[in-house]
Amino acid sequence: MESYTSQELSKQKPWQKYASMIIGAILVGFGIYIGDGIMIAMGAVLIYIMIYKKTVIVDEEGMMIHYNFVFYRKTSRYPYSEFTEIRAGVSPNNETNVGFVKSGMTYPVLLTTDEAERVIEMVLEQIPSMPVKYYVPKPKKFRL
């Protein structure tokens, strides 16, 4: 049985994850210094959100999403019949963001270009009428 595991979306912008964790630590430290419980809680929540992991596995049966928080674990399984279309954004750095659309909401999966092609072929073998839309993602500009 073929299965493909998504790459971490945070690898696209590692500086964003580390900067958010630093800001969370600063909030916690400053909150402790001035004795503000709300600021401590905000910093702790920011750090907690940055620690959580989401793993997406695509196989012949459908898509499985593992949410792995520190205190909470959840697994959701979606068969391909629940999705209405596939959106594939091919970037020049050998990565493709495959989005499975269900009820207007996109579930993104970051794969290499070769894996994304195999995943799309695997889905189309099961549901030939599934529309696939390809797009080129716009380059993101760095803004402060």
Please say whether the beta carbons of 137 and 89 come within 8 A: yes
The sheet carrying 85-90 orders its strands as 105-112, 95-102, 85-90, 132-135
Q: Could you report the per-residue pLDDT of 14-70, keeping only the tens digit for each?
A: 778 888 889 999 999 999 999 999 999 999 998 888 887 788 899 988 999 988 877
How many other C-beta atoms are found inside a 10 Å radius of the C-beta of residue 98? 27
Which percentage of the chain shows pLDDT scores above 90?
43
3-135 adopts what CATH topology? Answer: PH-domain like (2.30.29)
Rounded mean pLDDT of the chain?
A: 86
Q: Tell me the mean pLDDT in the region 81-108.
A: 89
d(CA 2, CA 117): 13
Residue 142: pLDDT band by 50, 70, 90 thresholds?
Answer: low
